[in-house]
Structures are given as structure tokens and as C-alpha cells.
């Protein structure tokens, strides 16, 4: 039974290694979740609660036509192709798609233009967007 001490020590070393590996994996997962933060981030006036309501329009303070006017004011000469009320990164915004190829994010609480980007297939490709400054 001379190997009893060896196996006891090896078992303890293995248990410690597994504990350490678990901690490293947990830290890596947390770091990965932080890097998957949604971009761009907006400073908005209406945060969408969790769980998300089925009808977002009950949260909006402005109507779609006001959002369209804000987008067209920011980009004169562009016609509105489509408007959607969206939960973008936890913010309630109107996505106003313009004839110039831009997807303009308008705050559904105060009508300010928050962001714009070149619209892609899903409205999130071609990130050439810029945050709007007040």
C-alpha cells in the first residue's frame, strides 16, 4: 500500500485543477458576455422593460409621423421608405428607413435622432453609423 499516498495526492491535485479550471471558464464566459454587448449603445429617454411588452407602441411618447419628420429634418431631401418601432439595445426607438439608404434611429420618447447607419438586409449591416450629438 505504498501507492496510497501517491493516489491521495494525485486526487487532491486533480480536484484543485478542476476547481481552478472551472473558475477560469466562468471568468472567460463573463468576459465573452461583456464583449457581446450590443453596439451601438444609445442614450435614450425610454428604456424597454424586461420582459418586453407585446405592444411597444404603448410605451412610445411620439407618433411615427413625428419620427419621420425628425429623420427627414436631419437628412433633407430623403423620402421615408419604412418606419418600425423597435427595441434597440434596450431603448425604444423608431427605425426610419430613408430613400438615401440610411436607417435613422429616432428616440420614441422625445423625437431626437440618436444614430444613423447605412441600412443592410436586416438594417444592421454596413455600420457606417454615427451617433448624433446634441
Which of 6-20, 67-81, 104-118 comes out lowest in average pLDDT? 6-20
For residues 98 and 115, the answer to whether their CB atoms sit within 8 Å is no
Q: Is the pTM of this model over 0.75?
A: no
Q: What is the pLDDT of residues 111-128, one digit of tens each?
A: 999 999 998 754 444 444
What does the DSSP 8-state code read for residue 58? G
C-alpha cell at 48: 424597454
Mean pLDDT in residue range 40-63: 94
Tens digit of each residue's pLDDT (9 = 90 or more) over 30-44 = 544 444 566 777 799
Higher pLDDT residue, 113 or 129? 113
Mark 16-44 as b/e (b = at least 16 C-beta within 10 Å). Answer: eeeeeeeeeeeeeeeeeeeeeeeeeebeb
Amino acid at each position: 500500500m505504498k501507492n496510497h499516498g501517491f493516489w491521495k495526492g494525485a486526487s487532491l491535485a486533480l480536484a484543485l485543477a478542476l476547481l481552478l479550471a472551472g473558475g477560469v471558464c466562468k471568468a472567460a464566459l463573463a468576459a465573452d458576455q461583456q464583449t457581446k454587448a450590443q453596439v451601438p449603445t444609445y442614450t435614450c429617454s425610454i428604456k424597454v422593460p424586461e420582459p418586453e411588452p407585446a405592444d411597444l407602441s404603448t410605451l412610445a411618447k411620439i407618433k411615427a409621423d413625428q419620427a419621420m419628420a425628425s429623420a427627414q429634418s436631419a437628412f433633407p431631401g430623403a423620402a421615408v421608405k419604412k418606419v418600425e418601432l423597435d427595441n434597440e439595445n434596450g431603448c425604444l426607438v423608431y427605425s426610419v428607413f430613408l430613400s438615401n439608404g440610411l436607417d435613422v434611429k429616432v428616440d420614441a420618447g422625445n423625437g431626437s435622432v440618436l444614430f444613423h447607419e447605412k441600412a443592410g438586409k436586416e438594417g444592421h449591416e454596413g455600420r457606417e453609423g454615427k451617433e448624433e450629438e446634441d
